[in-house]
Structure 1
Amino acid sequence: MTATNGSPLLAVRGVKTYYGNIIALKGVDVDVNPGEIVTLIGANGAGKSTLMMTIFGSPRAREGAILYEGRDITKMPPHEIARLRIAQSPEGRRIFPRMTVLENLQMGASLDNLKYFDEDAEKMFVLFPRLKERLHQRGGTLSGGEQQMLAIARALMARPKLLMLDEPSLGLAPLIVKQIFDAIRELNRTQGLTVFLVEQNAYHALKLAHRAYVMVNGVITMTGSGRELLENPEVRAAYLEGGRH
């Protein structure tokens, strides 16, 4: 469900981000159009998570601009960015370990959406049936795969227009990875949810994505459709050798 007409939902233009004096992003341009799944692949340390965090305002871009629905959000604080219906499932999951699954979902629902809580929670249980079985269990006692499902579900409870996922497959068994990627595909197909995905598992990410970018050392080196990059010899040699299917 790709929409390429009109302006992008998210536009990153010439963004440079620093950690102290070290430049992590060296003038990055990325577009995410409404209804697309766009993925950013690259080796560990390439700057992928830094871009995700920069979009969310921490760290801030020192140069360039980040536009969301045509509005400049480059200098906006993270809590205000979240109110724009951008939701993030960060690397390392970061659920609330002492809270139950139910309480984590309640934390994800914004105050505006609490009236839809039961309806939205039911949708999460259809997407991730395991969460319903674990509803009153503390987040910290869930398996890694269940915690990742909870992190994504918590982000979705905010009813986002744009879902940003940072390394959702990290450290998970292949079967769980497939479940999570299938859920993302289903959300995009049935609800038109726009997804920006940062992922080291290039094979799964490129199979899922409408469009993709490759990042090397803070620079976008290649872009194309997910299929084009999946079949690109350079991409295959760098990211797909060793059969990471």
Structure 2
Amino acid sequence: MSASSATPLLAIRGLRAAYGNVEVLKNVDVDVAPGEIVALIGANGAGKSTLMMTIFGRPRARAGQILFDGYDISALPTHEVARLHIAQSPEGRRIFPRMSVAENLHMGADAADGNTSESDRSADLDRVLALFPRLKERMTQRGGTLSGGEQQMLAIGRALMSRPRLLMLDEPSLGLAPLITRQIFDVIRRLNREDGLTVLMVEQNANHALRLAHRGYVMVNGRITLSGTGEELLERPEVRAAYLEGGRR
């Protein structure tokens, strides 16, 4: 799917954001069309995670627009953004360590809409557990006692419980073994192909991300410097030199 084949579900225009007096995002433009997987790659400190957090209102955008389905959400508080069925699996997972796996998953459903029927919530839970069978074996276990890979599965599963129209993944492979990384990326691909789920993904593993994504953006020092299909960016010499040939960065 190309950026021009559909009106963007998410359209970011001229976005600026800062921490105090330090401007991190500098006139950023990003489009995510319905049904796309879009990857955002770049070095540490480029501003990728800040972009994700600004979509959720922390930090607040200083200038520009964040349009979701044509509606400017840049001034909305975080809980109202979540109610639009925008979900995030954040960097570092940020599960609730003292809550059980089951409680963590139900928190995801509550974040978006506390009025979901029990039958719908049960169906959603069955779907998540089918995607991540390991979680089914640990439903009563505290989240903080899970392995890193299991916690990542839980963070993504919690986000999926909100029935997202847009799923945002921040470093889903960070710190994971290669086998678990492949499993996570296989789930993302399956959700996109079978359910048409729209995904915006920040990922330092550029090779994995661009092979999975329909399109991608490269961020350097808070600015978008390159964009194109995943295949196009994989072939760009500057992308290969910076993010592929030197190994994972």
TM-score for the superposition, normalised by structure 2: 0.95
Contact 1:4 1:34 in 2 (8 A): no
Tell me the alpha carbon deviations over residues 94-126 of structure 1, each in whole angstroms, 9 at most, x when there is no partner: 001001111111111131324212111111111
Runs of at least 5 residues in structure 1 that lack an aligned partner in the other structure: none
What is the DSSP-based 3-state SS (H/G/I as helix, E as strand, rest coil) of the residue aligned with 1:239? helix
Q: Deviation at 1:151?
A: 0.2
Distance 2:23 2:99 in 1: 37
Pair 1:204 & 2:204 matched: no
Structure 2 CA distance, aligned partners of 1:132 and 1:27? 44
Paired residue secondary structure (1:229) = helix
CA contact (8 A) 1:113 1:158 kept: no
Choose the corresponding residue for 1:159, options 149, 158, 163: 163
Structure 1 segments (4+ residues) deviating >6 Å: none
Query: Could you tell me how far apart the structure 1 residues matched to 2:115 and 2:8 are?
Result: 26
Partner of 2:24: 24
Q: 1:45 aligned to 2:45?
A: yes
State the AA in 2 paired with 1:102. A
Q: Secondary structure in 1 aligned to 2:191?
A: helix
Matched, 1:192 2:196: yes
Contact 2:204 2:248 in 1 (8 A): no
For these two proteins, the number of residue pairs brought into alignment is: 245
Distance 1:10 1:41 in 2: 18
Matched, 1:119 2:97: no
Greater shift after overlay, 235-244 or 196-205? 235-244
Shift of 1:20: 1.1
**1:84 equivalent in structure 2:** 84
**1: CA distance between counterparts of 2:170 and 2:117?**
26
1:194-242 deviations in whole A, cap 9, x for unaligned? Answer: 0000111111100110000000000000000001111111101000123
1:75 counterpart = 2:75: yes
Query: Where in structure 2 are there 5+ consecutive unaligned residues?
Result: none
What TM-score, normalized to structure 1?
0.97
**Displacement after TM superposition at 1:149 (Å):** 0.2
Q: Which amino acid aligns with 1:113?
A: T
- Determine whether 1:221 maps to 2:244: no
Partners of 2:147 and 2:93 lie apart in 1 by 12
* Identical residues among aligned pairs (%): 71
1:131-190 Cα offsets, whole Å, 9 max, x none, are 001111100000000000000000000001000011111111111111001000000000
CA RMSD of aligned residues (A): 1.4
Task: Report the 3-state secondary structure (helix = DSSP H, G, I; strand = E; otherwise coil) of the residue aligned with 2:116.
Answer: helix
Letter of the aligned partner of 1:242 in structure 2?
Answer: G
